[in-house]
Structure 1
């Protein structure tokens, strides 16, 4: 794995209903992400946070695509930042912020990775569109947009085509899918490991299969990890918690197996909401998982 890491903070909360996730990057930093990564041999450059407007600054114009223009502008800036760091030969580590930032992260990566594999670690599919979303929140549309499905203002960010292919995507931990998402997932043939598969097969087999899928013929693998993929008992500080999620230990095993595969070329950790958290517990979990994904071991 590339040992030169650039941390990019994106304090975005325009894509979600519940406020506070804009403080996620600060919470993860406060939990010691830079120190922990440096302790296991990585060279860290924190380039700070992108500028993100507050929801109070703009009216909601499209109820089915809330803060569309503002989110598109921030993701364009994020794509530029990720592209720049990749061009410098560095590993982009993006800290959110709500999951709408995956639009910009993946768009920037796509300038360098033309056949990228993606592990989407999440309780949700995030594969809604403005037509299928019950809430109109764009953080639930980011995977669809990256696949080239959705509003033109979003799918045209940093390029006019799909940034990733459905056969290269694996969703792990899903347990809350909207009807439109289920239909689109089946239509596209995306591999999804719901909690049923994780319970039945076990995380080792799920990860073995997932790693084979995302590395088959791809030129890099991106990890997009939403902390609500874990059970709310372990990660209370998220905006859209869903009970019955992946355990703390299962999540660590997944990250450890990802590190052993040595295929990761970029990552983002999103949806840490300190307002809803308990003593920064969720940010601490994010840092622990992040370090496991980067090869930290007990012995």
Structure 2
């Protein structure tokens, strides 16, 4: 099992500083050691370069039809990340991408998708990330990533986040509990499989996770898993960009990642996003991110 770690120290897509330090915090928490203990050959590919928000105007390059802060800079970062992920896949290794805010998923998914191959996506998140520049109440691109990947978000007439290799019917959003009105309408009109926390309450994490993974791998050539740490309850993961009460527990999160491990042969890429060390308690959220990554790559109790 060969894994290449790629960091994206970016908080351009959010309105709270700190997630740019997420990649360093996760590395410091012992990610490489956790993976190497599984027998993985884990190498570090370094960080994608990210401009400092203090040096940029968030509304520069504005356009009609909505608002998307730092959209030019975000596009540049995602393009570089896409190239790095594509090289990793081409080298026969699995890219493990560390965020940074969730807008980086546009780069990860674009790089993981082959030119003539289909890619399924499981998106573990408290939020829908299905806003567009026209529906967003904040202008923050980290709330538009999934919509952009599926071609719903136009940035001034340019749908640069769109990844045609990803079909709506092969996308599953798991753990939803905080949705804006505009994205709720778009999600209901889409073919994305949406599993809310109410569904998890009714059916349990193991069943929901297995069903979501089945949706994402049904007829596809590969699987991408995106894990936003705010999927967990803030009592378990306090150091996240946008915490929302009512998330999954520590054990439920591990159960979901153990289900992901059953699809390791199809796993094209994996990412951990929205760890914010400024809001964390003794780096416990970053440590949890390492543990969950290990579960996704095959760690078991017995």
**TM tier, smaller:** over 0.9
Question: Which digits, 9 at most, give the CA deviation of each residue in 1:97-140, with x for residues without a partner?
Answer: 00000011111112357211111000001010000011100000
Q: 1:183 aligns with which of 182, 185, 210?
A: 185
* Partners of 1:289 and 1:112 in 2: CA distance: 30
Question: Which digits, 9 at most, give the CA deviation of each residue in 1:49-103, with x for residues without a partner?
Answer: 1110111010122482000101110111001111111111111110000000001
The answer to whether the aligner puts 1:268 opposite 2:271 as a matched pair is: yes
- 8 Å Cα contact 1:237-1:273 kept in structure 2: yes
* Partners of 1:208 and 1:256 in 2: CA distance: 10
The answer to whether the aligner puts 1:283 opposite 2:286 as a matched pair is: yes
- 8 Å Cα contact 1:113-1:220 kept in structure 2: no
SS in 2 for 1:245: coil
The answer to whether the aligner puts 1:155 opposite 2:159 as a matched pair is: yes
Q: What residue ranges of structure 2 are gaps of 5+ in the alignment?
A: none
Q: What residue ranges of structure 1 are gaps of 5+ in the alignment?
A: none
**Mapping for residues 236-251 of structure 1, pairs under 5 Å:** 236-251=238-253
* Partners of 1:48 and 1:238 in 2: CA distance: 22
- 8 Å Cα contact 2:11-2:100 kept in structure 1: yes
SS in 1 for 2:142: helix
**Mapping for residues 36-115 of structure 1, pairs under 5 Å:** 36-61=34-59, 62=62, 64-111=67-114, 114-115=117-118
* Partners of 1:112 and 1:281 in 2: CA distance: 39
* Partners of 1:288 and 1:276 in 2: CA distance: 19
- 8 Å Cα contact 2:275-2:286 kept in structure 1: yes
The answer to whether the aligner puts 1:128 opposite 2:126 as a matched pair is: no
TM-score computed with the length of structure 2 as normaliser: 0.94
SS in 2 for 1:261: coil
Q: CA RMSD in A?
A: 1.4
- In structure 1, the partner of 2:7 is 9
* Partners of 1:14 and 1:5 in 2: CA distance: 27
Question: Which digits, 9 at most, give the CA deviation of each residue in 1:212-248, with x for residues without a partner?
Answer: 2111101111100000000000000011110001111
Question: Which digits, 9 at most, give the CA deviation of each residue in 1:242-267, with x for residues without a partner?
Answer: 00011111010011111123332210
Deviation at 1:152, TM superposition (A): 4.4
- 8 Å Cα contact 1:86-1:112 kept in structure 2: no
Q: 1:292 aligns with which of 292, 295, 302?
A: 295
SS in 2 for 1:155: coil
TM-score computed with the length of structure 1 as normaliser: 0.95
* Partners of 1:253 and 1:51 in 2: CA distance: 34
* Partners of 1:225 and 1:80 in 2: CA distance: 21
Runs of 4+ in 1 over 4 A off after TM superposition: none
- 8 Å Cα contact 2:75-2:160 kept in structure 1: no
- In structure 2, the partner of 1:173 is 175
Aligned residues: 295
The answer to whether the aligner puts 1:28 opposite 2:26 as a matched pair is: yes
